[in-house]
Amino acid sequence: MTDATPALTESPAAHAWRRPLAWVGRSIRSRLRFLLSLMALSAGTVAESLSPRAWRRSARLEFRRVLRMALGGSLTATVFVATLVGVGMVYQAIYWLRVAGQEGSLGNLLVAILIRELAPILVGIILLGRSGAAMLTELGQLHSERQLHALQAQGIDPFQILVMPRGIAFALASYTLGVVFVLVTMVVGFALASVLDVVQTSFWSFLDALLRATAPADFVVFPVKMLAIGLLIGSTACLTALFAQEGEDIGRLISRGFIRGMLAIMLTSGLLSLAI
Amino acid sequence: MDLFGRGAGALDLQLEAGDLALVDARDLPLASGFADLCCGLQPPAEGEVRFLQRDWSRQPAEMADALRGLIGRVMSNPGWLRFLDATTNVLLQQIHHTRSDLGALREDAARLATHFGLPGLPNGPIAELSPADLMRVGFVRAFVGEPKLVILESPVQGLHQDLVPALLNRLWEVRDRGGAAIWLTRSRMIWDNPLFPATHRLRLDHQGLSSIKAAA
């Protein structure tokens, strides 16, 4: 066996191919810079959070604070929207499927539309609007007030204290709010149908129909969707703040962060739906 | 600490345990850059910067952060995190780098706060503190825990010269524990004071760091 390194010389034809390919790569990368950074940051957040060493007291403190903020800030809005969806969708589905004599399809309909699609997107939008914007406001002055520099001067890695706890806290908040959303929607829709005598079965039979309609993949995809959406909302807000120009207007930053967050929610939800 | 670099401006400084260097640094960005250099945040153009016998440039990021955790610094731009309360802002460095009991840290910080003329350790939002209180809280942050090196970037300005004795008292404590300090100043009153207990007097400008003999 020899240690000889293969020669890196190439023919002029290969070199001629490389330049346009490099140009294509460069232009795609510049356009996808934010997306690539977002993916790297999110993957880094997950990887780092698995190491107990990353969870120093300061990171735990910030995690608890952000989790409280994300849950507390979005819980009322989530319950309110879930109540509206319960009335506007679950009750209507129960009513019209009964009129059509298709009560047996109720579970399939609710799982396919509500649990797989609507809940992750609506909860994501609520979380983004209520807590993501608040977080962007918090982090928007990182550059202008030299807060990043102050952290580094104290030997504190901004990733460990600003990015990782936020990403994980938003992921858990999103999952929790998703579960709350689905429960409230079902309870409100069924309660209204019971009060108006549209349904004669018990709540447990209703839940049983839902469970029977739920495919094994749904038990994986729903949590993954909620966790991924929360993580991406947190990462998007952090990245938007970190990429901000010095002295950039907070209002512009929030609107940019909101659009990016919306894209992240839609893409994640769509891609994971394709997985089923 | 060893600090020397050769380039546009030559710096040559070595501080031993118990030393206090008074540096006349009228250019604020230059003073901040020098402080960053001492903390290993900015590499020298040439030469090496060492802290506790360790060359910053050879330390892995985690080790460098841990070493920076031993440096108390009053920054010209303190960079308070507005989403954290004043207490957490003050104790953040200690909370991050040590496992010291939080209650003991709070007590230590409250003692320092009283020493610097605050009624106690403020626990409300940092944004609600007046500039004078923020300055005092900045001192508390720099001295809380047991820093091995304290860097003060023009800590006392304008009408707050009465805080100099309190700062010097704390510096004596640090020096008695075997630490060292660098006081970067723009104040003529401090620089011209022959009784200022500096072991080194230096001037920092774009030509570098030059040693100045004591006036007295």
User: Is the pLDDT higher at A247 or at A47?
Assistant: A47
The whole-angstrom separation of Cα A265 and Cα A129 is: 12
CA distance B34 to B50: 13
Contacts 24+ apart (CB under 8 A), A49-58: A49/A164, A49/A167, A49/A168, A54/A160, A54/A164, A56/A160, A56/B95, A56/B96, A57/B95, A57/B96, A57/B99, A58/A156, A58/A160, A58/A161, A58/B92, A58/B95, A58/B96
Q: Do B41 and A58 touch (CB under 8 A)?
A: no
Q: How many CB pairs under 8 A join A and B?
A: 71
Q: Which two tokens stand for residue B193?
A: 């004071």
Please report, to the nearest 10 degrees, the dihedral formed by the alpha carbons of residues A257, A260, A261, A264 taken in order.
-160
Structure tokens at B138: 């900045």
What are the angstrom distances between the C-alpha of A135 and each of A58, B26, B35? 18, 38, 31
Pick A56's closest partner by Cβ from B64, B73, B96: B96
Q: Do B93 and A146 count as a contact with CB atoms less than 8 A apart? A: no
* Minimum-distance CB partner of B96 among A145, A153, A156: A156
User: Which 3 state secondary structure label does DSSP give A149?
Assistant: helix
Report the alpha-carbon angle B45-B46-B51, nearest 5: 95
The pLDDT value given to residue B215: 44
pLDDT digits (tens, 9 = 90+) for A117-139: 999 999 999 999 999 988 988 88
Mean pLDDT of chain A: 89
Nearest to B13 by CA among B151, B143, B142, B147: B151
| A266 exposure class (CB count in 10 Å sphere: 0-12, 13-18, 19+) | middle
A30 CB near a chain B CB, below 8 Å? no
Q: Which of B42, B51, B92 to mutate to test the interface with A (most CBs of A within 10 A)?
A: B92
C-alpha distances out from residue B10 to A17, B14, B28, B149, Å? 49, 13, 18, 22
Instruction: Give which of A8, A241, A229 is closest to A123, Cα–Cα.
Output: A229
Q: Give the pLDDT confidence score for residue A105 in this predicted structure.
A: 84
Please report the pLDDT score of residue B94 as a whole number: 96
Whether residue A155 and residue B69 make contact (CB cut-off 8 A), yes or no, is: yes
- Rounded to the nearest angstrom, the minimum Cα separation between B33 and chain A is 12
Q: What is the spatial distance between Cα B66 and Cα B111, in angstroms, rounded to a whole number? A: 25
How far apart, in whole angstroms, are the C-alpha atoms of residue B165 and residue A179? 59
Q: Which of A56, A128, A145, A244 is nearest to B83 (CA)?
A: A145
Cα–Cα distance between B148 and A53 in angstroms, integer? 24
Q: Indicate which of B63, B67, B83 best probes the interface with A, i.e. most A CBs within 10 Å of its own CB.
A: B83
Residue B109 near residue B144, CB atoms below 8 Å: yes
State whether B36 and A141 contact (CB < 8 Å).
Answer: no
| Residue in A60, A162, A153, A143 with CA at minimum distance from that of residue B142 | A153
Which ipTM was obtained for this model?
A: 0.90
Interchain contact, A58 vs B92, CB within 8 Å = yes
- pLDDT at A144 > cutoff 80: no
pLDDT in tens, chain B (216 residues): 444 444 446 778 899 999 999 999 999 999 999 999 999 999 988 889 999 999 999 999 999 999 999 999 999 888 899 999 999 999 999 999 999 999 999 999 999 999 999 999 998 999 899 999 999 999 999 999 999 999 999 888 766 778 899 999 999 999 999 999 999 999 888 898 888 999 999 999 888 888 886 543
Give residue-wise pLDDT tens across range A150-200. 999 999 999 999 999 999 999 999 999 999 999 999 999 999 999 998 888
What is the spatial distance between Cα B54 and Cα A14, in angstroms, rounded to a whole number?
48
Nearest by CB to A146, from B79, B97, B99: name it. B79
State the nearest Cα–Cα gap between B19 and chain A, in angstroms: 21
Q: What is the pTM of this model?
A: 0.86
C-alpha dist (Å) from residue A110 to A97, A105, A123, A200, B210: 11, 9, 16, 18, 77
CA distance A134 to chain B (A): 10
Average of pLDDT values for A222-243? 93
Q: Starting at the edge strand that comes first in sequence, how are the strands of the sheet with B54-55 ordered?
A: B11-14, B2-5, B48-51, B54-55
Q: A20 — phi, psi (to 5°)?
A: -65, -35
Here the tokens at position A183 are: 């429960």
Contact residues, chain B, for A250 at CB < 8 Å: none
> Residue B78: its chain A contacts at CB < 8 A?
150
Provide the percentage of residues in chain A whose pLDDT is more than 90. 50
Alpha carbon B62 to its chain's center: 21
Q: Which residues of B touch A161 (CB under 8 A)?
A: 96
Question: For residues A222 and A218, what is the distance between their CA atoms, to the nearest angstrom?
Answer: 6
Nearest to A111 by CA among A213, A179, A220: A213
List CB contacts (< 8 A) between A141 and chain B: 82
Q: What pLDDT, on a 0 to 100 scale, did the predictor assign at position A2?
A: 44
Which pLDDT score is estimated for B214? 52
pLDDT in tens, A11-51: 777 778 888 889 888 888 877 888 888 999 999 999 999 99
Is residue A217 within 8 Å of A275, Cβ to Cβ?
Answer: yes
Higher pLDDT, A8 or B63: B63
* Strand ranges, E, within A178-268: none
* Interchain pair A150, B65: CB under 8 A: no
pLDDT in tens, A90-122: 889 988 988 888 878 888 888 888 998 999 999
Which of A66, A131, A146, A154 is the best mutation test for B, with the most CBs of B within 10 A?
A154
Under 8 Å between Cβ of B116 and B166: yes
Residue of chain B nearest A151, judged by CA positions = B79
Q: Using the beta-carbon criterion (under 8 Å), do A155 and B88 form an inter-chain contact?
A: no
Higher pLDDT, A272 or B8: A272
Cβ of B75 within 8 Å of Cβ of A155? The answer is no
